[in-house]
Amino acid sequence: MFLDKMLERLEYTCLQGETHIEITELVYDSRKVVSDSVFVCISGAVRDGHEFVGEVVSKGATAVIVEKDGDYPEGVTVIKVEDSRLALAYMSAAYFGHPAEKLTTIGITGTKGKTTTTYMIKSILENTGKKVGLIGTIEVIIGDKVIPANNTTPESYMVQKYFADMVEAGCECVVMEASSQGLMLHRMAGFTFDFGIFTNLSPDHIGGAEHKDFEDYLRCKSKLFQQCKLGLINIDDSHTSKILEGHTCQVETFGFSEKADVRASEIDLVERPGYLGIAYKVDGLMHMDVNMNVPGKFNVYNSLCAIALCRHFGVSEEEILKALRSVSVRGRVELVPVSDQYTLMIDYAHNAMSLESLLTTMKEYHPRRLVCLFGCGGDRSRSRRFEMGEVSSKLADLTVVTSDNPRTEDPQSIIDDIIVGVKKASGKYVEIIDRKQAIKYCMDNAEEGDVIVLAGKGHEDYQEINGVKYHMDERELITDILAGR
C-alpha cells in the first residue's frame, strides 16, 4: 500500500521526503520494524516512540509519523500530525481496507454491564443465524477462534486487524466494549459505529494513568455518541444528559421510566433452591414477557438494552426470548450448578463499588445466609482492601477472606488489611489463605437456602504470584472439591 493512501483521511504535514511511497508494514512497536515499513511514534505513559526514530530508520523504516518537530535522519519521509494515536487509528483502518464498513458495528460504553450486554447481544443475533464477532474484557471471538483479552479495548491497529479477520471469517456484525480509556486514546477512531450503547455511569478508573477526575471519565465516555449513527441510552441514569452533550447521533432510550422508548415493568425476582433468575414485562416499542436464568435487577437493564438493539435487526420476539433464556456470561453472576440446596456463583466483583452492588442484589433474594468469599490483588491500593472488607462485613452474613492475585506481596499481609475493614462492621468472618480450601469450606458448611458468592476472579483462570501466572480456574476447583467428597 502507498503511504499517501494510508494518510488520505488524515490532516498532516510532510516535513521531508515523499508520500507516494510503497509501504510494507504499519508498525508502532520499534521491535517489529521491517524494511520499507512506516513507524508511528506513540507518546506512551512509559516510553516516547520519538526516542526510537534513529533505531527504526536503521532497521529499514522508510517513513515515520511524528507529533514533534525535531532533527530527523535524512532519507526518511517524516509526516507530522497533531495526535499520533489518532493517526494510527486512521492509518490502521486504511491499511486493513476499512473493514468496519463491511460490518455492522456495535459499541457499548458504561461503568457496569458492558461485558454481560455484549454476550446477550451476541447470543440473540446468533440465534437468528448471524455470525457475530466480539471484542471485550474477557476475550476476542472471531468465528471459532477465541483470543484471551489483555485490554478491554485493544490498540487501534489490533481493533482494525480483528475487524478484518472477522470479515474474512464471514462475520456480519461485531459487538465490542468501548472503554473510557479506549475512547480517550482513540483506539476506536477511524470509523463510525452503526450503534452506540450507554449502560450507566459511576466513578471508576479515576487517578493514576487513567482519568484525572470524574468529568474527564464522563467526557471520554460521551465521545461514543459523537462517533455512532444511533445511540441507545439508559434513560434512568442520572448522567444521561451529560453523556449526550454534543452528540451527533439519533437517540433511542431504554429503562424503567415511562419516558423510555423500550421500558421494563413488573419485575419479579425468581428464586428456588440452587436457582436465581428474573422475569419482567417489556413495553413501548416492543411487547413481551421475559424470563432469564441470571439474577439481579441490573440484568434487567442489560437484557432490556440487548432487546432494544436487536429490534433494529428485525429479530422476532420468539428468537429473543429463546436466546435470553439460555444466556450465560463467564464470571458475571455465573451460577455454578452444584446443589439443589444452596446457590453458588462466581462473579468478577473486585472493588468495593461492584461488590456492594452484587451483595445488595443478592440480598434482595432473601437467602438464608449470604456468604461472600473474596481476596484482594497485591501491588494495588490498600484502601481497596479496607473498603471491600467493610462492604462484605456489612452486607454478608459470613465473609470468607482468602487470596486473590498476591503478585509480589505477602498474601497474609493482604488478608490482614482486608480484616481491618471487616472489623469496621459486625459481620462474622473466617480467614483461609488457600483459595481452594476457602471454597471447600464454603461448600462443606453450606446451609439450605444459602447464596454463596465467590468474588474477584470471575473469568480469570490464573493466580499471579511473584510475576508468574499459575493456572487456577474456580470452576475446576469446584469440580475437584466435588470429586473429592
If asked whether residues 454 and 342 sit together in one domain, one would say: yes
| Inter-residue contact 403 to 433 (CB < 8 Å) | yes
Are residues 134 and 21 part of one domain?
Answer: no
Considering the domain architecture, whether residues 370 and 304 belong to the same structural domain is answered as no
φ, ψ (nearest 5 deg) of residue 165: -65, -35
Q: Are residues 392 and 339 in the same domain?
A: yes
CATH number of the structural domain spanning residue 234: 3.40.1190.10
For residues 125 and 68, membership in a common domain is answered with: no
Computed over its alpha carbons, how large is the radius of gyration of the chain?
Answer: 24
Sheet holding 275-284, edge to edge: 145-148, 139-142, 132-135, 173-177, 104-109, 193-198, 228-234, 250-255, 262-272, 275-284, 288-292
For residue 442, the enclosing domain spans 334-483
Which parts of 188-258 fold into alpha helices (H)?
214-222, 240-243
Distance from C-alpha of 367 to C-alpha of 371, rounded to nearest angstrom: 9
For 384, the enclosing helix (H) or strand (E) is helix 382-395
Cell numbers given for 231: 445511540
Whether residue 236 is found in the same domain as residue 277 = yes
Task: Give yes or no: residues 289 and 412 share one domain.
Answer: no
**Angle 140-348-275 (CA atoms, 0-180°, nearest 5)?**
105
Q: Of 40, 68, 95, which one is at a domain's C-terminal end?
A: 95
Residue 170 and residue 143 in contact, taking contact as beta carbons nearer than 8 Å: yes
Q: Are residues 361 and 454 in the same domain?
A: yes
Q: How confident is the model at residue 263 (pLDDT cuts 50, 70, 90)?
A: very high
The answer, yes or no, to whether residue 152 has pLDDT greater than 90, is no
Q: Are 124 and 315 in contact (CB under 8 A)?
A: yes
What is the arithmetic mean of pLDDT over 40-44?
A: 91
Mean pLDDT (whole number) for 265-269: 97
Question: pTM for the complete prediction?
Answer: 0.91
For residue 337, is pLDDT > 60?
yes
Three-state secondary-structure class, residue 161: helix
pLDDT higher than threshold 60 for residue 158:
yes
**Same domain for 38 and 104?**
no
Q: Looking up cell 476499512, which residue turns up?
A: 98
**DSSP conformational letter for 206:** B
Model pLDDT, residue 272: 86
Three-point CA angle 376, 378, 379, nearest 5°? 135
End position of a domain, from candidates 291, 326, 361: 326
For 250-259, write each residue's pLDDT tens digit. 999 999 999 9
Confirm if 52 and 41 have CB atoms less than 8 A apart. yes
Closest CA to 175 of 137, 131, 122, 223: 122
pLDDT at 207: 59
382 and 318 within one domain: no
- CATH number, domain at 390? 3.90.190.20
219 pLDDT exceeds 80?
A: yes
Of 268, 296, 326, the position where a domain reaches its end is: 326
Compute the average pLDDT of residues 46-60: 94
- Per-residue pLDDT tens digits for 105-129: 999 999 889 999 999 999 999 999 9
Domain CATH for 85: 3.40.1390.10
Q: Provide, rounded to the nearest whole percent, the portion of the chain with pLDDT above 90.
A: 90
How crowded is residue 126: how many other Cβ atoms within 10 Å of its Cβ?
14
User: Residue 203 pLDDT more than 80?
Assistant: no
Same domain, 211 and 180: yes
Same domain, 19 and 130: no
How far is Cα 358 from Cα 346, in angstroms, rounded to an integer?
Answer: 11
- Would you place residue 46 in the very low, low, confident or very high pLDDT band (cuts 50, 70, 90)? confident
Query: What does the alpha-carbon distance between residue 290 and residue 273 come to, in Å, rounded to a whole number?
Result: 21
* Average pLDDT rounded to a whole number, residues 3-11: 97
Res. 19 pLDDT band, cuts 50 70 90: very high
| Listed residue (361, 360, 330) closest to 348, CA to CA | 330
Read off the pLDDT of each residue in 298-315 and give the average, rounded to a whole number.
96
Cβ atoms of 197 and 309 closer than 8 Å: yes
